[in-house]
Amino acid sequence: AQSVTQLDSQVPVFEEAPVELRCNYSSSVSVYLFWYVQYPNQGLQLLLKYLSGSTLVESINGFEAEFNKSQTSFHLRKPSVHISDTAEYFCAVSGGATNKLIFGTGTLLAVQP
Amino acid sequence: GAGVSQTPSNKVTEKGKYVELRCDPISGHTALYWYRQSLGQGPEFLIYFQGTGAADDSGLPNDRFFAVRPEGSVSTLKIQRTERGDSAVYLCASSSGQPNTEAFFGQGTRLTVV
């Protein structure tokens, strides 16, 4: 069975400060890892994903995440956040033939001016 | 279409009634997923279609829930004898069906059972 843990339900941060959103997973099989973002009143959008190869993956808007197999983590980071980054962020894992996603409970990133 | 479309966007129904939620996937996508997102939770997997067939329905909570995709495109999630605990946002996603390709989500249907 697979599961995802996002320990922080809400992360308040000031604009231009760095941020880390934590994600830990458990799985008995090889996994593929994802971060999805949900902006207010919008649907889920893929932010970035790790399938194989380099353990550091980046998004087009400055976020990055590093797959750490020994710590079973896939933390999301950004060196300097903007007000527009305010959203709910979901970590997810998939593995197996169906590609179904198992999501964490989400972390609300609240960027303050 | 341009994206995954779900209708209605909001549905209020009385306890015990039957409801249908519709999902129009991206044209050409063979894989279709239904998820349920309760307040304060992440989306939970319900069912997965590859083409017309339900390849994995292990997430359906009980036999009141059923989904179809008769022509391999539009899908309908059906809930019988609704209960207040069924209140949630129901999300649909589609993908090309190739391994580990991106799943595109609709904006969901917010179901409220009163």
Residues A37-55, buried b or exposed e (16+ Cβ, 10 A)?
bbeeeebbeebbbbeeeee
Of A51, A92, A105, the CB nearest to B41: A105
Cβ contacts of B33 on chain A, cutoff 8 Å: 100-101
> How distant is the Cα of A71 from the closest Cα of chain B, in angstroms?
22
Categorize the per-residue pLDDT at A31 as very low, low, confident or very high, splitting at 50, 70 and 90: confident
Contact state of B42 with A100 under an 8 Å Cβ cutoff:
no
> How distant is the Cα of A104 from the closest Cα of chain B, in angstroms?
5
Q: Is A49 on the interface with B (CB under 8 A)?
A: yes
**pLDDT at residue A2 in the model:** 85
Report CA dihedral (A24, A29, A33, A38) to the nearest 10 degrees: -80
Q: Which residues contact B98 (CB under 8 A, 6 or more apart)?
A: none
Cβ contacts of A43 on chain B, cutoff 8 Å: 4, 91, 105-108
Walk along chain B (114 residues) in steps of 10 and give the mean pLDDT of each run.
Answer: 90 98 96 94 94 93 96 97 97 88 92 98
Share of chain A above pLDDT 90, in %: 73
Q: Is A99 on the interface with B (CB under 8 A)?
A: yes
**pLDDT at residue A6 in the model:** 96
Average pLDDT, chain A: 92
**pLDDT at residue A29 in the model:** 77
Cβ contacts of A59 on chain B, cutoff 8 Å: none
Categorize the per-residue pLDDT at A30 as very low, low, confident or very high, splitting at 50, 70 and 90: confident
